[in-house]
Amino acid sequence: MVIESEPPCTTKKSVNTAAVWGSISTGIGHSQHEELMGVLNVPAMTFRTFRKKTSTVKKVWEEILNDDMKAAGIEEKRVAIEKGNLMPDDTPYITVIVDGGWSKRTYGHGYDASSGVAVIIGAETKKPLFLGDCFTTKRIFHQNHMNVLRTLVDHRQLWSKTS
C-alpha cells in the first residue's frame, strides 16, 4: 500500500478530506491539526467534521489495502506453484514472516492494553498479506486471499523444524 500525499483524483475535491488525508499520513490527530491550522492562520475543522472525514479516508485506505493484500496473496501462491512448494494433495504452501505486538501498561496497572497489532508478510514477495489490530483478525481467513493463509494454518502441524 502506498500512502499518497493526497487522495486519488475524484470528481469531488474537498479541502477537508485532503487536510485529514495529510494529517493521518503524517501521524497527527485533530489536536495537532488544530495547532497546525492555527499557525497557518487557517480555520480548523471541528472535531466532528475531522472524525467524519477520517472515517471516509480510512475506508478508502482499507479498500486499497485489501486489494493489495489480495494481489499479494495471489502472487505468493503463483510463486509457490512455480517453485513446486506443494503439499502431497497439490495444495500450494507459502512461507510467511509474522510479527505482532500487544503493549504492556507501565502505570502500575495489573492489566495489558486492550488492543494489539499484527502483520503477515509473504517471504517471497515481501508484501503484506495481512495487517490488522485485535478487532480485525477475522480477516486473516478472508476468502479473497484464495485460501493461501488458511492452507498455511491448516498444515502447520506438518512443520517439524523450529521456528
Ranges of each domain in the chain? 65-158
Total residues belonging to the chain: 163
- pLDDT by residue (tens digit) across 27-41? 899 999 999 999 999
pTM of the model: 0.64
Contact at 8 Å (CB) between 103 and 95? Answer: no
pLDDT > 90? residue 154:
no
pLDDT > 90? residue 71:
yes
CA distance 73 to 130: 9
Query: What percentage of the chain carries pLDDT values higher than 90?
Result: 45
CA distance 122 to 79: 10
Q: Which of 46, 63, 47, 51 is nearest to 8 (CA)?
A: 63
User: What are the backbone angles phi and psi of residue 97, rounded to the nearest 5°?
Assistant: -110, 125
Tracing cell 517439524 back to the chain, one arrives at 160
